[in-house]
Amino acid sequence: MENKQVLLVDGMALLFRGFFATAFRGNFMKTSSGMPTNGIYQFLRYFLDAVDKFQPTHVICCWDMGSKTFRTDLYEGYKQNRAEPPEELVPQFDLIKEVIDAFDIPNIGINNFEADDCIGTLASMYAAENEVTILTGDQDILQLVQENVSVAIMRKGQGNYEVFNSENFYEKMSIYPKQVIDLKGLMGDASDNYPGVKGIGEKTALKLIREYETIDSLLENMDELPKGIRNKINLNMDMMHLSRTLAEIKCDVPVSCELTSARWQFDKTKVEDKFNELEFKNLSKLL
């Protein structure tokens, strides 16, 4: 039986990363008709490098479907600290999906959930019989590491990945993957704009999770905690529980994708036609 190697791509993470990596001087690649393409161009360089590195047999790309999700319903402030995407990036959101279509790769997304939830659900489905690698720049996804599921975090510089798997995770992080959720419940997440327990930072949160393993266990042993920490938790109890809910990637959302539709094999002419349409002169050599 074929040993399937599935690459799940966090599409929005790559697109934003590609856009800002190439737009920092305000120089935007544009087609002769004025369509900005710099984010797509750099996305493809990242993507094709990762395919070369991880050698998948199957590839799926997951996307956010808008800023409104069940998390914004739970907490109005969720991600409210983020600026609107630059106007040059907006038209590239739909265009990149056309490029992914040209590779015959499934584009997966579902309203009311984030790409992370689609990735978590698909990874859980596939891990029983396949090896899964998740490509992202987002540390939150580390909670998905398990047997047969690795996370490749993109580091600075193209082709530079830090891979977390079930064998090396504890050695790297000193906690286990699922404990990332409780860690975020305590310390919050500034980039997603939820506070956790005010006054408890990463250092203290890590110490507490290493000692008590879970928030539930921590609450059962509150009398052992220093008075200052106990007071902070009591004052922020509701937000701690809410932050843990916001941090947890859902692995049971109503999404599916048959692997037969995701095999990594593409029509080179079809892809090159798309590259020519976008006036990408030197990307074909990476195919």
User: Same domain, yes or no, for 138 and 149?
Assistant: yes
Query: Is position 80 within any domain?
Result: yes
Looking at residue 156, its pLDDT comes to 86
108/200 same-domain check: no
Same domain, 191 and 72: no
Please tell me the predicted confidence (pLDDT) of residue 281: 86
Contact 256, 125 (CB under 8 A): yes
Q: Does 123 lie in the same domain as 88?
A: yes
Residues of the chain with pLDDT below 70 are 1
Calculate the alpha carbon distances from 178 to 142, 169, 244, 246 in Å: 8, 11, 11, 14
What pLDDT is recorded for position 207? 96
Query: Which residues have CB under 8 Å from 206's CB, separation 6+?
Result: 174, 175, 183
The verdict on 168 and 225 lying in the same domain is no
Query: Do residues 184 and 52 share a domain?
Result: no
Total domain count, the chain: 2
Element (H, E) at 59: strand 58-62
| Residue 285 belongs to some domain of the structure | no
Rounded to a whole number of angstroms, the distance between the first and last alpha carbons of the chain is 27
Are 39 and 128 in a shared domain? Answer: yes
pTM of the model: 0.95
pLDDT at 3: 79
Read off the DSSP letter of residue 74.
H
Q: What is the pLDDT of residue 1?
A: 60
pLDDT per residue as tens digits for the range 216-251: 999 999 999 999 999 999 999 999 999 999 999 999
What pLDDT score was predicted for residue 277?
95
Q: Is residue 287 part of a domain?
A: no
CATH of the domain at 235: 1.10.150.20
Q: Range of 15's domain?
A: 5-174+250-280
pLDDT at 217: 97
Give me the CATH number covering residue 164.
3.40.50.1010
Do 124 and 76 have their domain in common?
A: yes
Do residues 87 and 227 both lie within one domain?
no
The answer to whether residue 286 is domain-embedded is no
Whether residues 102 and 211 share a domain: the answer is no
Report yes or no on 133 lying in a domain.
Answer: yes
Alpha-carbon radius of gyration of the chain: 20
Q: Is residue 41 part of a domain?
A: yes
**How far is residue 170 from each of residues 141, 177, 187, 213, measured CA to CA in Å?**
15, 8, 19, 13
pLDDT tens, position by position, 180-191: 999 999 999 999
Structure tokens given for 105: 């790769």
Same domain, 197 and 243: yes
Q: Are residues 142 and 188 in the same domain?
A: no
